[in-house]
Amino acid sequence: MGKKVLVIGEMKNNKLRNVTFEAIAASKLMSKENEVIGVICGEGNLEAQATEMIYFGADRVHTIENEKMKAYTSQVFAKAIIHVIDKVNPDAIIMGHTAVGKDLAPKLASRLNSGLVSDVIELEEFGGNIVFTRPIYSGKAFEKKIITDGIIVATIRPNNITPLDHDDTRKGELEPVNITIDTVDVIIKDVLKKATAGVDLSEAKVVVAGGRGVKGKEGFEPLYELADLLGGAVGASRGACDAGYCDYSLQIGQTGKVVTPDLYIACGISGAIQHLAGMSNSKVIVAINKDPEANIFNVADYGIVGDLFEVVPQLTAEIKKMKL
């Protein structure tokens, strides 16, 4: 018999992040019979986003619209979601393993006194239980976890589970929910962002990353050109960030972002374990490094031993020719 799974939708720039649709697919991987109930919090009219969740497989979606929910804050969002949990009484709660998910999921699990499985990359039904797979020890090993008691709370790693097909003939219920936000609750009135162009790094299908080998800010320019050509985003090692070659928002790894693109091109990155923790699950890894002994070659599907300042422009030129 199917169970009730609550999927917490996450918004960015007034659009649902892809990981929301991946979470719906994960709910159905647990069992095709599951009823998927979405919840979205935000300011303004959320009907279009809720309908998108239905097109991607949700059966009904609760919307909590409130001007004080323009940006995520732990206190207010946890309160709103708990209100929906009390109403829905789900068997499982799934959301993205994003900055928001990492903050919210433990709060909910603690409030529900239930088990939390974070950073899930695979899940399957086995013998009546759901087996969750997650990387441990910076991706060197994989742990399989089963939660047998209480409500399951899980966060899934973005870009790992394929969303269900978008079907705009699917029907589902939309249910607005009202909550009261006290004046003592912390709210964010506005978010000032650095102007960044292009694709979101954590959801990019192609990532071109630079390390200390790029030798300076200008060394990133050929990487941006290649990333633009491939419709991807630029990332970096901590070595490059620490050296001041780029912003820390680009850092990939244990203490940076975790990415799982279809293609990861590492340029001048040695492949320290802390860096691998953030990218080793990429589907295809290409490494460009002038040191044939560099550790990055141990995880690469394709390795190019050479100077990145020669290899990257050549690669760009060849791809341009293919696109003509």
CB of 313 to ligand FAD, least distance (A): 12
Residue nearer to ligand FAD on the CB measure, 46 or 276 = 276
CB of 289 to ligand FAD, least distance (A): 4
252 is in an annotated binding site: yes
- The DSSP call for residue 255 is T
114 is in an annotated binding site: no
Would you say 265 and 123 are in contact if contact means Cβ atoms under 8 Å apart? no
Helix and strand numbers (H, E) in the chain are 8, 17
User: Six-digit token pair at 210?
Assistant: 């630079």
Residue nearer to ligand FAD on the CB measure, 199 or 209 = 209
- The CA radius of gyration of the chain, in Å to the nearest whole number, is 21
Nearest to 135 by CA among 160, 113, 164, 114: 160
CB of 260 to ligand FAD, least distance (A): 15
**Amino acid in position 315:** L
304 is in an annotated binding site: no
CB of 287 to ligand FAD, least distance (A): 9
Nearest to 211 by CA among 310, 138, 303, 294: 294
CB of 309 to ligand FAD, least distance (A): 6
237 is in an annotated binding site: yes
Q: Where are the beta strands (DSSP E) in the chain?
A: 4-8, 11-12, 15-16, 35-42, 60-65, 92-96, 116-120, 122-126, 129-136, 141-145, 152-156, 173-176, 206-210, 233-236, 263-267, 284-289, 302-305
Residue nearer to ligand FAD on the CB measure, 206 or 269 = 269
Residue nearer to ligand FAD on the CB measure, 73 or 254 = 254
97 is in an annotated binding site: no
271 is in an annotated binding site: yes
Owner of token pair 């279809």: 262
* Interacting residues with ligand FAD (CB under 6 A): 211-213, 237-240, 251, 253-256, 268-270, 272, 274-275, 278, 288-291, 294, 307-309
Residue nearer to ligand FAD on the CB measure, 152 or 236 = 236
Binding residues for FAD, as ranges, are 212, 237-238, 251-255, 268-275, 289
Residue ranges of the binding site: 212, 237-238, 251-255, 268-275, 289
